[in-house]
Structure 1
Amino acid sequence: MFDTKEQLEEYIEKIFNNLELFEWDVLHVSTNTDRAEVIEILAKKFVHESLKNDINFLYITDIENIKYNKIKQAMFKEIVGEWVFFCDDVLSYSKDDALNAVKKEGRVNFINKIVSSYFQKFHSIIFTEMFDSFLELFNNMPITKNKQIFIDKILQSSLNRDAKSITIRKFSQLYGRVRIAQDLKNKEITKLNLRIKELMSKLHSTQDINYDEDNELLYDIEDLQEDLEDLEEKGLYEFDELIAKLRENMLESMRIASLGV
């Protein structure tokens, strides 16, 4: 890619002084849609894997144990990891050289600015994944007495700052709403699955080949399968107004709690 070491060093200096270039070459993003998609992937990774003991309600035992600062730290590591991969894959730069390049004056701060910008714009994506893990407490059977007490503590804590605006303050109140929302979601999923099955059956039962009709059926099936994927990704808050209000409340509480970390 570069004829001389000097050209390589000039490029590295340039990329750490040009946000758009760094995002395009290293992170492969250029729009907020791209950035949001990256954060969605990282949110699932952080909540369900690398930071599950710090931000996933299925694993933490006290809200005081939630470590918001680790989210930014993990984002920093991910960006550095992408830089190292880029250096190895494109620049033929060793891992040690890539890491040493990051350590030079101003470059850590450059990456931290990216992290802060992404977190400020897209924190709700991560916090929504955390909120979903809170609702998963109701699906993680059995629901023990200790789990009920833990849920009550969360609903009556600083994570539910504006609790007066909603009527959900106890496990028993939220449990019923979650069950209803899950049933509504399951019914919608069942309807789509049945419709897909009907169209598949119609497609395979046709005796005479009619390319136009078959193609139309295939397009309809493909559209329904996409709708099904979207539906399965929907959070329960999209099926219940009070859960939606609780989500909004908790996300704002998380945002406030994360300030300054």
Structure 2
Amino acid sequence: MIIDCHCHAGKGDLLTGPWDTDAPMGTYLRRAKAAGINKTVIFSPFHSNYQQANANTAKIVAREPDRLIGFAFVHAQRDKGRIEQIIGEAVTRWKFCGIKVHRIDAPATREICDAARTFGIPLLYDPVGQTDLIELLASQYPDVNFIIPHLGSFADDWRAHLRVIDQIDRYPNVYADTSGVRRFDYLVQAVKRGGAHKVLFGTDGPWLHPGVELHKVRLLGLPPQQEALILGKNLLRLIQGVKTASKSRSSLVH
């Protein structure tokens, strides 16, 4: 099974660029199907109200429940004091399986990590090249799994790539995704140093072509078992405890 672990879906409301305006799924889903991608993790574009955005994500998942997996987006500062409530609603009501946080909004906080721990879900955190915080997150929350997209930098920052490769090697709870990484040899290094069990296939759809992003993983030329880890088994392993966690904590959300 091939799972794209990183795709935006739905409308943002800020109108400064595609990333906060619109992430239409129609073309992406056709391209993903043609490429052989079976499932996709989706979350909102940037939005001024992530609770509303998560509800919109849930509606999109409900239209394609066999293909789509929801992650809840939160703003570390604007949603301060109600992170657990927002994540709890997403996990218990809509069966979301992870959290998305972006440093452009605000750096990840203890409150967000505590919510990830409470509900047993991974945290997909984009540090926008500022990878130092990952050291603190990983060491302070060894029981929380962190997925770092773009090997730490969508902006092609090779220094960030190297730091994240080092982090997935040193920390058992730090993973990276392949989305948008243009310097191919850093993907090679990530697998060589961290291992295939620490890398996840992602596309940053719908804006990047899922078939192109998938082909980069194919070009690594890995043995079938290692390739299968990157293409889906790693993600499944990271979200497998979510259902139990959500059931045991369902009383947190009313």
TM norm structure 1: 0.28
Question: Computing the radius of gyration over CA atoms, which structure comes out larger, 1 or 2?
Answer: 1
Structure with greater helix share of residues: 1
Structure with greater strand share of residues: 2
